[in-house]
Amino acid sequence: MTRPDLSKATAPVPADGRPVLEVDDLHVEFRTRSGVVHAVNGVSYSLTQGETLAILGESGSGKSVSAQAIMGILDSPPAVITGGGIWFEGTDLLTQPEEEQRKVRGPGISMIFQDALSSLNPVYSVGFQIGEMFRAHRGMSKKDARKRAIELMDRVRIPAAARRVDDFPHQFSGGMRQRVMIAMAIALDPRILIADEPTTALDVTVQAQVMDLLKDLQAETGMGLILITHDLGVVNEVADNVAVMYAGEIVERGTVDDVFTRPAHPYTDGLMSSVPQVEAKGGRLQPIVGQPPNLARIPSGCPFHPRCSRRRLGAEAAPGRECSTDVPPLRLVVPGREAACHYSEEVLGVRAQ
């Protein structure tokens, strides 16, 4: 991938300090028997303390893979990180030995997953699994770890924590199980929590409770939150910034208010207009017209061009901005907003500078 990358120069770094996490031009591919799948192609973003960054994008756009690359839990093989850096508190994790990376998982960055039932080990009690964090990272005794597990279960508002600490995952409801996951993830006060579709598998009423819990915990601890979700209502409610992914790239980035009210990329525009009321709870991403890209054969030029209603091909295009041959870099379109489209200004309805 030799696409020009301007994102580093233009990344919106909030005024209140250095970012805790900086993902820099990350590339991940899967080398499978049937070919190379380019799942992440030059993703960059940064996160400061207390910030909530939402990551949007249709299924297969590389949201989970980029998150797992940050966590260092990709299955390799087949996954290979082919380029980029993951800077956490000033060090590039990718250059660190595995043992150092491991020590970051938990106290530094932690993650919760969509399906809490399959993500918890069925043969150990929830208390044991939460307590493992203290035993592995703090060398705590089994007994003390169990005590801390009860405190954490209280903290994530699991009723009768002391009584339920020795229960097994299958004995909890979906919402309670996700709370167990959250308890485990925040056990060591991580600087960053990555939540990969934390509420997708839950009932609507429970979804709101779990999101409230996450927000409250973030307010208490000041951790940065990367929220991967399909729920535009949730993004609108809890996120500060949003990054929209398409074909393993970030195609638009800005504050939630800006991006939601005036998208600068035709793909984002399509996402927003496919939901009648973004503000409504449960407004979800709808599939937009056309086939999702084949990541083993990403289209030339702008990867979105086969589906884009605004594309300009051949003579229609401005010089150097032919949608099927010229790659649109992620660039600053208006202050605080980046998009990877040759014609973002038109999408925004403002004139090109």
Ligand X SMILES: Nc1ncnc2c1ncn2[C@@H]1O[C@H](COP(=O)(O)OP(=O)(O)OP(=O)(O)O)[C@@H](O)[C@H]1O
In whole angstroms, how close is the CB of 323 to ligand SF4 at the nearest point?
Answer: 3
Using CB under 5 A, pick the residue from 7, 61, 64, 344 that binds Mg ion.
Answer: 64
Q: Could you tell which of ligand SF4, another protein, Mg ion, none binds residue 64, using a CB distance below 5 to 8 A set by kind?
A: Mg ion
In whole angstroms, how close is the CB of 37 to ligand X at the nearest point?
Answer: 4
Q: Which candidate, 175, 148, 153, places its Cα nearest to that of 164?
A: 153
| CB-nearer residue toward Mg ion: 114 or 268 | 114
Q: Could you tell which of another protein, Mg ion, ligand X, none binds residue 102, using a CB distance below 5 to 8 A set by kind?
A: another protein
C-beta atoms surrounding 128 within 10 Å: 18
Q: Which two tokens mark 178?
A: 């996700």
Q: Could you tell which of another protein, ligand SF4, Mg ion, none binds residue 91, using a CB distance below 5 to 8 A set by kind?
A: none
Tell me the β-bridge partners of 137: none
Q: Which two tokens mark 345?
A: 């200004």
Q: Examine residue 78 and say whether the peptide bond preceding it is cis (omega within 30 degrees of 0).
A: yes
Q: Which candidate, 87, 86, 79, places its Cα nearest to that of 62?
A: 79
Using CB under 8 A, pick the residue from 132, 197, 231, 269 that binds another protein.
Answer: 132
Where residue 314 falls (left for φ over 0; alpha for ψ -120 to 50; beta otherwise) is: left
107 touches another protein (CB under 8 A): yes
C-beta atoms surrounding 266 within 10 Å: 26
238 touches ligand SF4 (CB under 6 A): no
- End-to-end Cα separation, the chain, in angstroms: 28
Q: Could you tell which of ligand X, another protein, ligand SF4, none binds residue 328, using a CB distance below 5 to 8 A set by kind?
A: ligand SF4
Q: What angle do CA 160, 135, 164 make, to 5 degrees?
A: 15
Q: Could you tell which of another protein, Mg ion, ligand SF4, none binds residue 110, using a CB distance below 5 to 8 A set by kind?
A: another protein
219/14 Cα distance (integer angstroms):
18
71 touches another protein (CB under 8 A): yes
Whether 54 and 64 have beta carbons less than 8 Å apart is answered as no
In whole angstroms, how close is the CB of 168 to another protein at the nearest point?
Answer: 4
In whole angstroms, how close is the CB of 208 to another protein at the nearest point?
Answer: 24
In whole angstroms, how close is the CB of 151 to Mg ion at the nearest point?
Answer: 31
Q: What angle do CA 248, 197, 231 make, to 5 degrees?
A: 90
Residues of this chain, 286-325, that bind ligand SF4 according to CB under 6 A: 302, 304-305, 308, 310-311, 323
Q: Examine residue 77 and say whether the peptide bond preceding it is cis (omega within 30 degrees of 0).
A: yes
For CA atoms 165, 168, 171, 172, the dihedral sign is positive
CA-based radius of gyration for the chain? 21
Using CB under 8 A, pick the residue from 69, 79, 111, 330 that binds another protein.
Answer: 111
Q: Could you tell which of Mg ion, another protein, ligand SF4, none binds residue 137, using a CB distance below 5 to 8 A set by kind?
A: another protein
| Number of residues binding to another protein, judged by CB under 8 A | 31
270 touches ligand SF4 (CB under 6 A): no
Q: Which residues, other chains included, contact 249 with Cβ-Cβ below 8 Å and sequence gap of 6+? A: 41, 42, 43, 62, 303, 330, 340
Residues of this chain, 165-224, that bind another protein according to CB under 8 A: 168, 170, 181, 184
Residues 333-352: x/- map of binding to ligand SF4 (CB under 6 A)?
A: --------xxx---------
Q: Which helix (H) or strand (E) holds 39?
A: strand 35-47
| CB-nearer residue toward ligand SF4: 19 or 293 | 293
Q: Which two tokens mark 270?
A: 């399509």
66 touches Mg ion (CB under 5 A): no
69 touches ligand X (CB under 6 A): no
Q: What are phi and psi of 253, to 5 degrees?
A: -150, 140
In whole angstroms, how close is the CB of 351 to ligand SF4 at the nearest point?
Answer: 16
* Contacting residues toward ligand X, per CB under 6 A: 30, 32, 37, 39, 57, 59-65, 75, 78, 295
* Contacting residues toward Mg ion, per CB under 5 A: 64
